[in-house]
Amino acid sequence: MLDDPLSAVDPAVADGIFNDCIVNGLRNKCVILVTHQLQFLKQCKRILVLNNGTQQMMGSYDEIIAQGFDVDEILTQYNKALQDETSNK
């Protein structure tokens, strides 16, 4: 189980860690990756989407998109929340 190991690194390092360590290095292992890094979702076999600790949907990337999971909307909301937080300081 990996609890957001990509959160404190820049995008290039996160990409390297994800591909070299998680995808390739752990390819014969069961990996549970907890992350907010949505850019890696397409490469995951199964995705569990939680909202306030409650399962919203589960499946492959294509399956959760078909269920209405909107990656672009989530990223927009996240970026807006970050901007609001920064402007309130």
The per-residue pLDDT for 73 is 83
Structure tokens given for 43: 């490469």
Per-residue pLDDT in tens (0 to 9) along the chain, 89 residues = 999 999 999 989 999 999 999 999 999 999 999 998 888 999 999 999 888 899 999 999 999 999 998 888 877 887 787 778 778 76
| Residue 80 confidence (pLDDT) | 80
CA 9 to chain CA centroid, nearest Å: 14
Instruction: Report how far residue 6's alpha carbon sits from residue 61's, in angstroms, rounded to the nearest whole number.
Output: 19
Answering whether pTM is above 0.75, one says: no
pLDDT value at position 89? 66
Give the chain's domains with CATH numbers. 2-87 (3.40.50.300)
**Max intra-chain CA distance, the chain:** 46
